[in-house]
């Protein structure tokens, strides 16, 4: 008898979340995919079925809204009967790119709910309601190590994900195995949109900003491909439980040596 392969992926209609869902689909997973937009989810579900997913259920919801998070996780567990894997990919704070002096009270509250309250709620629900142990991936950024001015709200807030992953994995080792991916720059619709906004604000060509601040920051001379990250995330999900509570740098060497 083959082991069950059932996963919930958030932020799954495009970008990093979709790429990880696609890698799981190629491995034959049953999937529940979530994001806010229903049309994007339907399109993603169709592609994931073609990629090999044995079943795809769509569960729309906003990670900033408690009731949505509870509904998405509960319905995923009910629909599939349990979750061996959960991937949390997120959106970006609405104000982004915004500096410390541009960000207001509501922006910090939004980021806290998007990254921290949502993740803590998902982990709690997995402990309380998921009948099997879940391997969880949290999608974060290498830039939290040295927050970048235009991403400061996201970077400072998601720094907490590293502690949350470790704490949850150590507290409930029989129910959870949580690892954080610290990304460099990947070519996704979200990353392109952020660069586009930055370029517009500076009155320069977006391609120039992409070349200088994305490609130019990696000694490898390229951005990451979401598909290579998808494969890596899927193999981490299925790897040894000795890899748990870890923060894993997947940044194309963008991060300098620490002092």
Ligand X SMILES: NC(=O)c1ccc[n+]([C@@H]2O[C@H](COP(=O)([O-])OP(=O)(O)OC[C@H]3O[C@@H](n4cnc5c(N)ncnc54)[C@H](OP(=O)(O)O)[C@@H]3O)[C@@H](O)[C@H]2O)c1
- One residue of 31, 186, 232, 247 binding ligand X per CB under 6 A: 186
Tokens encoding 252: 């194309």
Nearer CB in complex with ligand X: 16/162: 16
Q: Within 10 Å of residue 207's Cβ, how many Cβ atoms?
A: 10
The span of 1-9, 30-38, 49-57, 165-173 binding ligand X (CB under 6 A) equals 30-38
Which C-beta is closer to ligand X: that of 51 or that of 132? 51
State in Å, rounded, how far the first CA of the chain is from the last one.
51
**What is the size of the binding site for ligand X (CB under 6 A)?**
30
3-class SS at 149? helix
Rounded Cα distance, 128 and 141, in Å: 28
Among 5, 7, 17, 107, binds ligand X (CB under 6 A): 17
Residue appearing with tokens 């509501």 = 106
In the list 76, 183, 234, 247, the residue contacting ligand X (rule: CB under 6 A) is 183
User: Which of 41, 39, 79 shows the shortest CA–CA distance to 58?
Assistant: 41
What is the contact mask toward ligand X in residues 97 to 116, using x (rule: CB under 6 A)? -----------------x--
| 190 binds ligand X per the rule CB under 6 A | yes
Helical ranges in the chain per DSSP H = 15-26, 38-51, 66-80, 105-111, 118-129, 152-171, 189-202, 206-209, 226-237
For residues 118-177, which are near ligand X according to CB under 6 A? 139, 141, 154
The least distance separating ligand X from the CB of residue 227, rounded to whole angstroms, comes to 12
Q: Which span sits near ligand X by CB under 6 A: 10-18, 73-81, 164-172, 233-241? A: 10-18
* Of 9, 13, 80, 86, the one binding ligand X by CB under 6 A: 13
Q: Which is nearer to ligand X, 226 or 245 (CB)?
A: 226
Query: Considering only 24-32, 119-127, 171-179, 182-190, which stretch makes contact with ligand X by CB under 6 A?
Result: 182-190
Site for ligand X in 51-80 (CB under 6 A): 62-64
Handedness of CA 117, 82, 34, 189 (dihedral sign): positive
Residue (126 or 214) nearer to ligand X, CB: 214
Q: Any alpha helices (H) in 147-188, and if so which ranges?
A: 152-171
Distances (CA, A) of 145 to 3, 30, 148, 151, 183: 37, 35, 9, 12, 11
The single residue among 98, 188, 229, 236 that binds ligand X, judged by CB under 6 A, is 188
Q: Contacting ligand X (CB under 6 A), which of 107, 185, 232, 236?
A: 185
CA 47/CA 87 separation, integer angstroms: 18
- With contact defined as beta carbons under 8 Å apart, do 168 and 234 qualify? no
Binding residues (CB under 6 A) for ligand X: these are 10-17, 35-37, 40, 62-64, 89-92, 114, 139, 141, 154, 183, 185-186, 188-191
């Amino acid at each position: 008898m083959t082991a069950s392969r059932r996963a919930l992926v958030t932020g799954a209609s495009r970008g990093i979340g979709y790429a990880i869902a696609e890698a799981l689909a190629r491995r034959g997973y049953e999937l529940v995919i979530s994001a806010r937009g229903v049309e994007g989810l339907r399109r993603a579900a169709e592609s994931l079925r073609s990629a090999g997913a044995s079943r795809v259920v769509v569960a729309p919801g906003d990670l900033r809204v408690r009731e949505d998070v509870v509904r998405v996780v509960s319905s995923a567990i009910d629909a599939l009967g349990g979750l061996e894997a959960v991937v949390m990919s997120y959106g970006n704070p609405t104000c982004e790119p915004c500096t410390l002096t541009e960000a207001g009270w509501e922006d910090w509250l939004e980021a806290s709910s998007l990254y921290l309250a949502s993740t803590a709620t998902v982990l709690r629900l997995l402990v309380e309601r998921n009948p099997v142990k879940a391997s969880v991936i949290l999608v974060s950024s290498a830039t939290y190590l040295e927050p970048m001015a235009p991403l400061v709200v996201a970077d400072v807030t998601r720094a907490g994900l590293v502690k949350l992953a470790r704490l949850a994995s150590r507290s409930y080792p029989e129910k959870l195995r949580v690892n954080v991916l610290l990304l460099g720059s990947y070519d996704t619709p979200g990353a392109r949109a952020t660069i586009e906004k930055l370029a517009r604000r500076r009155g320069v060509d977006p391609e120039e900003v992409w070349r200088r601040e994305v490609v130019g920051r990696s000694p490898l001379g390229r951005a990451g491909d979401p598909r290579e990250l998808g494969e890596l995330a899927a193999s981490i999900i299925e790897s040894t439980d000795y890899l748990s509570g870890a923060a894993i740098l997947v940044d194309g060497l963008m991060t300098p040596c620490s002092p």
